[in-house]
Structures are given as C-alpha cells and as structure tokens.
Amino acid sequence: MMELLASIHCYFWSPSRTICLWMSLVLLLQYSKTVVSKSDYLIGLGSYDITGPAADVNMMGYANAEQIASGIHFRLRARSFIVAEPQGKRVVFVNLDACMASQLVTIKVIERLKARYGELYTEQNVAISGIHTHAGPGGYLQYVVYLITSLGFVRQSFDVLVDGIEKSIIQAHENLRPGSIFVNKDSGFSTGELLDASVNRSPSAYLNNPASERRKHKYDVDKEMTLLKFVDDQWGPVGSFNWFATHGTSMSRTNSLISGDNKGAAARFMEDWFEKNGIKSSDTNESGSDGLPRRVSNIIPNIHDDNNKLLELATSFRSSPGSPATQTMSVARRVRGALKQAEKPGFVSAFCQTNCGDVSPNVLGAFCTDTGLPCDFNHSTCGGKNELCYGRGPGYPDEFESTRIIGERQFRKAVDLFEKASEQLKGEVDYRHTYIDFSQLEVTLTKVGGGSEVVKTCPAAMGFAFAAGTTDGPGAFDFKQGDDQGNPFWRLVRDVLKTPDKKQVDCQHPKPILLDTGEMKQPYDWAPSVLPIQILRIGQFVILSVPGGKFTTMSGRRLRNAVKTVLTRSGNGEFGSNTYVVIAGLTNTYSQYVATLEEYQVQRYEGASTLYGPHTLSAYIQEFQKLATALIKGQPVEAGIPPPDLLQKQISLLTPVIMDSTPAGKNFGDVSSDVPANSTFKRGSTVTVVFWSSCPRNDLLTEGTFALVEMLQGKDTWTPMYDDDDFCLRFKWSRPSKLSPQSKATIEWIIPSSSSPGVYRIRHFGASKGLMGSIRHFTGSSSAFVVA
C-alpha cells in the first residue's frame, strides 16, 4: 500500500508529472502483480483424442444392437486437470467424452501412471469420469452385461481410451505451473441456474419422494451449474470444468455417428470461443450470426469479392485422384493445430456429468409417435407400448439441431459463470478413496422417532422395467416402466440364464428380477460387486467420485447434503457456508443407477436399474460420510479389497478387417460423386462429396482427421478451415454389404453462416488394408467450388 500512497503523492506534488505518472504506473503494476501471482496451487490441464473406431462397433449407452458406428459427427476427447500443493498432495480429474468410466480402463491407466511417475498418481488421487454420451464406441468395460451388444470386448475401443487418458494426464503434468482456481455458480444478476436444458423424464417416480422434501426445491431436476476457472499466473485463463445434470441423449438410439452429444458439443464451442475471443466472449461482433464461435475463416482475409473471378479460379482445380499419403498428413492439416501457440498451453474446457439419472435433454416432453399425444404419465407408454414413446429435443425432429441447442445453452451459461468467477479456492488439497463390496454391505438406518436398524444391500440385479428403456431410448417387446410384477414369459426366459433364489428376490423387493447379474459368473462376472468411492478436495471445493453411474436428482441432493453436513459441522473451521460439493457421476467404474428408496418402490427405469437393492443410496451416503469424516480428521481409511482385473478373460466376437478394395480402375481416395461443375454454394447450404474409401478401423487417425475443408489462399495455397472435429462437418462411412471389402466415405459440410466467401475444396484421409495385412495411407480431394 505504501507504493500506492507514494504514487498518489507524486502525482499531486511533483513538477515532472509525466515522469512521475510512468513511475506510478510501474509501481502499481508491480503491486498488482504481487497480489495476482500469489498462488496456493500448481495447476495443469491436458486434452487428448479418444475417438475410437468409427466403423462396425456397437455404440455404448442405448444397448441397441443395431446402433453400429459408421462415421464421425465430431471427435471425442479426454480432458484432465491436476491441482497440486507445491510441497504437498495433488489430485487428478479426467473428464471423458465417453458413456462412462470403466473399471478395467481405470486399472490400466493407473498401472501406466505408476510405471511413469511412481506413487505420484494412484487410484487414491486420480478420478476418471464420463459425460454419458450414447454415441461413442462400446466394448471397453469388463463386465459381461455391458459387452453383449458390442459382441464382447473391443480392444481398439479400450486401447484408445487408456492411451488418451494417459496422454491427457501427461500433458496436464507437464503443464503444471503456479496458478489460481476460481469457483462460481452465481453469475451476478442471475444464479448458475440453467432452466432450458433439462427436464425430469420420470416425474411419477420423483413425486413419490416425500412432499416435505420436494417443497425444499424449486424444480424436479437440479438446474444449477457449478464451474471451476483455472488461471495460470503467467498465461492467464487456461481452462474451465463445470458440472451440470443432463443426459447425453440428444442424439437418438438410431444415430450411427460418433458424437460427444450435447456436453461434447458445449466443450467444443467453449474451447473455440476462448481460442478466438478470450474473455471478449460477450462481444457479438466476435461471433457468427448463428451465435456460435467463429472459426479460422474469421482470421483469414477475404481477398476475393468477385463471384465470376472466384468461379474462374475454382474451375482450375478439379478433383485429384487418390494418392498415397503419410500417416501424419491428417494430423498436420487439422484446423485447431493451426491456431495453437507454441508455448502457451491450449485452453481446456470440460462439461462434466453429475446426478443426471432421471434428467433428460429432450425438453419438449415425451410424445407418442403414432398419435402425437403425450405418453402415459406413469408408465411412459402409448397404447400400452413403450417403444412408441419418445422424448423430443428442442430441435425436433432434427437430433443434430437438438444436440447443438442443448450444447449451446450449456456453453453460454458456462461462459457467463466463467467471466464472472471471482471466489478463489483456498486451502488444502486432499483425497480419500476406498473399495467397498456393495453386494452384502450392512447399512445402519435411523428410524423415524429414534433408534436404528441394520439392513443390507443385495447382489446386483436388473428389474423388468430396465428392459423398457426410457423416453430417451425406449426398449422393445412388452416391457414397461413402473412394472413391479414382471410377467411369466420373461421369467421363463430369465430362468434359462439364472433363477434368483428367495433370499435375492426378498432382498431386491419390490423389484421383479429380470437379470440376476450379480450372481451370474459365466464365462466371467456379469456385473461389479466391488466399487471404488472417492472424495477429492481442493480448498472449499469437494468432488464426490461416484461409480453409481447415475444418481437421480433427489438421490444426488441427499448425498451432497449428507456430505456437506459432515464437512461443515466438523467444528474445525475449514469448511463453512461457502463449501461446494459436486457429484461426479460415472466415475472410475460403472454400476448403473441410484434411486431413492421411495423412487425404487415405483420401479420405473431408474429404480429397476438400481443394482444393489432398495438401500443402495443409503449405503452410498453411509460410506461417503465415513470418507468425509476421515478427510476432516486427517485420518486414513482402509483401502479395501480391489476389484478383479478381467482383461485376460475377455472374449471378442467382432470380425476383424480382412482387406479393403476398390472397383477396377479406381484408387482409394478417388472421388465417386463430386460437387457439380462451376458450383456456387450459399452459407447455410450443404456440400456433399463421396470418396472411394476403406474401413476407418485400419487407422483411427487419432489427433488427425478423416475429413477436411480447405480454403484457397492466393493462387495455389490451401488452408485448413474445418475438420471432423467440427460440428458443421460430418464424416459418414458405408459399405454396400456387411462383408464387402469395398466402402465409401460421404463427407457433408453444412456451410456456417460465419464462413468467408471464397474458393473451397473437401479432402478425405484414410488407410487401406491389403490382403497380407499391410496398411497404406491415402488422401484425395474434390473439385473446387465457391462459397458466396
């Protein structure tokens, strides 16, 4: 403060005001720097491609055997942050553009981290969480029930996740620098509430919760977003992670393009926004008229303004025949790489999942496809059939538009919170982790009126209503939500696999058991029994890492409140009214849903998918309270018995790629269907080009691209503008028949309203497999065309 007083004195009394003003400014900047750079933490962020096989592999989420990947909507990524005390503990949080975390993936990532860093990163302080997109490749979990529709284990899906998570953590580790973290769930004039991105898809179950409890909450889903802003002392803002509850089901069960769904889209929008605009996010001049961040076309000057000259120039660039390429060409031509500064770490933004169990992004409601009328309230059926009841997103009937809208709504709220984040995290970095066998866990319940009773959880089992699906993705046959009886025919079918004994039936009551997965062991375990639970602490911010993939709205509220009560009533002053507790769903392993006891009685989809019986939520609350107590008291917890590593037992029935071929006289990368000659396209229209291609499983082109839009600069320089990591560019792959070695790649570019007029072309990259197993990379390009 003395420096500031001196500068004020200087201004009023010195005869050489100009010199004195400069001295004052220097002193002021030095004073400000000492305030801003005082950091409690080291922070580092990282991001890596985990897209996986874009062909032939069943997608994880809807359990629809016919939903097979055949292209890319936009790429998937693993995003990580590390927070460390300079001389103390550290925590790692990884957010995956994947349906959920996998116990087996977690085991192998930890093994690699221990091999590289020793005991610096272990299962104790590393959390790996999924966003719950239903449009990512499956086959990477280790339990049988989650591998049936993917024809068993898919090694490519598994490997790309393990590699990508490890590399994202390595990036974060290498980016560790002094920095600060700010938290926000209140954006000034409005709270962090996001009102138009979520609805409750099982309201009849929610209404079974006590009225007195429901009256405490304004909505039947959590509408609040909580955001962390990471600020590097040298570089300024370097990332943000936020938690908001809405399902990754804007893309439907019939979609076949790999996609991060609404949360992955929001992450793309925010990362692109920051790289172009930094904190000038609210300046409408920096965004396209469609409201989304502008791309590279913003920063490339428009050197052509005469359409006739553009057409004349475009006609000189006809489609090039397919030609050999190096493996790194698609990486070198990626758009985002052109914008990255060499020394500055790239901005990483993650939109994390929380208690989304009964929360849908299909905000228009659920309607019958045959009549257009609302579905039955209690069972979500239409004339008794669940398969006719579908939720509608805000872009109905266009699922891509629904994905964009829900993603954009989350993005805009995150930007609002990010720009106004001012509360700094301060305090210890700490963690607690243990393994718990949830199949026979004793839980002590407090009785109404006093006293207590001891109950037990059950071996895992799925109810009949599980097979009915949800309004986001209905099931088949004659199943329905809200079924607490079952039916004789499907009981006979069930008994072929495993007949539950009376003890299990009584334990799971009133759930009628369809699949007794916890007691099915052939050829290996069908469902998990041992689950990891974990608490991460960064100052007054606490993350509950829950393997119960999807807590319902009320389940999440009860768990958060229980843990917060333990923390704030500890009496040691570390936690107060400004304590933040968030649930990170689908973390470290996957064990489906967690409904409240009251919701469980209704047996809608969420209750039927609560594996360990009616007291599952009480078990979680009990065990997390123990972790929170140990955290507060600085006490260790028992490690518990770790879950099995079933990698060597995995079975895969997915047919490998034998070879690729093209028709006689055609090369890989040749154009099969070109743009029309002398073409001019307006912004908002779609350009489509078809290439002779090969199976994308031959090379995943990780951190590369299968599709690229280039713009002509000067007379012969092509600049990358959009790739298959962009929302506007779709890579679709197909073969004429299931066993055909021939295939085509259709690339569709929906021209953004922010694209600059000019000459463009579309390119395709790929890798073909020869009969002897050799892999050869190729590329090809379309004829040039004009965007006016």
Model pLDDT, residue 19: 37
Model pLDDT, residue 313: 85
Give dist(CA 623, CA 707) in Å, integer.
48
Average pLDDT over residues 260-285: 79
> Is residue 710 over pLDDT 60?
yes
pLDDT 10s digits, 393-451? 999 999 999 999 999 999 999 999 999 999 999 999 999 999 999 999 999 999 888 89
> Is residue 227 over pLDDT 90?
yes
The fraction of the chain above a pLDDT of 90, given in percent, is: 82
> Is residue 525 over pLDDT 50?
yes
> Is residue 8 over pLDDT 60?
no
Q: Is 16 exposed, middle or buried (0-12, 13-18, 19+ CB in 10 A)?
A: exposed
pLDDT 10s digits, 503-518? 999 999 999 999 999 9
DSSP collapsed to 3 states, 741-759: CCEEEEEEEECCCCCCCEE
- Residue closest to 766 by CA, chosen among 784, 744, 783: 744
Q: What is the DSSP string of 194-232?
A: -TTS-EES-HHHHTTS-HHHHTT-SSSS--B-EEEEEEE
Helices (H) and strands (E) in the chain, counts: 17, 37
Active site residue 129: no
CA distances to 49, 53, 98, 503, 758 from 78, rounded to whole Å, are: 6, 16, 9, 42, 35
> Is residue 348 over pLDDT 70?
yes
Q: Phi then psi for 125, rounded to 5 degrees? A: -120, 10
Structural contact between residues 223 and 193, judged by C-beta atoms closer than 8 angstroms = yes
Asked which of 7-11, 558-562, 677-681, 755-759 is least confident by mean pLDDT, the reply is 7-11
Q: Which residue has the higher pLDDT, 285 or 562?
A: 562
Q: Phi then psi for 222, rounded to 5 degrees? A: -75, 125
Cα 108 to chain centroid, rounded: 20
- Interhelix angle for 17-36 vs 2-13, to 10°? 170
Structural contact between residues 665 and 731, judged by C-beta atoms closer than 8 angstroms = no
Q: Phi then psi for 390, rounded to 5 degrees? A: -130, 140
Asked which of 326-330, 376-380, 637-641 is least confident by mean pLDDT, the reply is 326-330
Asked which of 14-18, 572-576, 633-637 is least confident by mean pLDDT, the reply is 14-18
What is the C-alpha end-to-end distance of the chain, expressed in Å? 58
Q: Is 452 exposed, middle or buried (0-12, 13-18, 19+ CB in 10 A)?
A: exposed
The Cβ of residue 177 has, within 10 Å, a number of other Cβ atoms equal to: 15
> Is residue 484 over pLDDT 80?
yes
The Cβ of residue 681 has, within 10 Å, a number of other Cβ atoms equal to: 18
pLDDT band of 283, cuts 50, 70, 90: very low
The fraction of the chain above a pLDDT of 70, given in percent, is: 90
What is the pTM (predicted TM-score) of this model? 0.92
Pairing of strands 671-673, 686-693: antiparallel
Q: Which residue has the higher pLDDT, 654 or 297?
A: 654
Catalytic residue among 360, 609, 693, 756: 360
CB half-sphere exposure, 50, CA atoms < 13 A:
36
Average pLDDT over residues 151-178: 98
Give dist(CA 643, CA 617) in Å, integer.
20
The Cβ of residue 95 has, within 10 Å, a number of other Cβ atoms equal to: 31
Model pLDDT, residue 38: 60
For the chain, domains (ranges, CATH) are: 41-277+344-440+523-649 (no CATH), 656-787 (2.60.40.2300)
Q: Which residue has the higher pLDDT, 331 or 365?
A: 365
Q: Which of 319-333, 341-355, 531-545 has the highest mean pLDDT?
A: 531-545
pLDDT band of 531, cuts 50, 70, 90: very high
Return the biggest CA–CA distance within the chain: 99
> Is residue 32 over pLDDT 60?
no
> Is residue 335 over pLDDT 70?
yes
Confirm or deny that 134 is annotated as ligand binding. no
pLDDT 10s digits, 577-611? 899 999 999 999 999 999 999 999 999 999 999 99
Give dist(CA 81, CA 91) in Å, integer.
8
Q: Phi then psi for 406, rounded to 5 degrees? A: -65, -35
The Cβ of residue 217 has, within 10 Å, a number of other Cβ atoms equal to: 14
Model pLDDT, residue 586: 97
Q: Which residue pairs from 67-71 have beta carbons closer than 8 angstroms and sit at least 24 positions apart in sequence?
A: 67/253, 67/254, 67/255, 67/256, 68/256, 69/137, 69/256, 69/257, 69/258, 70/256, 70/257, 70/732, 70/733, 70/734, 71/256, 71/257, 71/258, 71/696, 71/730, 71/731, 71/732, 71/733, 71/745, 71/746
> Is residue 35 over pLDDT 70?
no
Confirm or deny that 132 is annotated as ligand binding. yes
Q: Which residue has the higher pLDDT, 276 or 779?
A: 779
> Is residue 282 over pLDDT 80?
no
pLDDT band of 162, cuts 50, 70, 90: very high
| DSSP for residue 254 | T
> Is residue 363 over pLDDT 60?
yes
pLDDT 10s digits, 212-222? 999 999 999 99
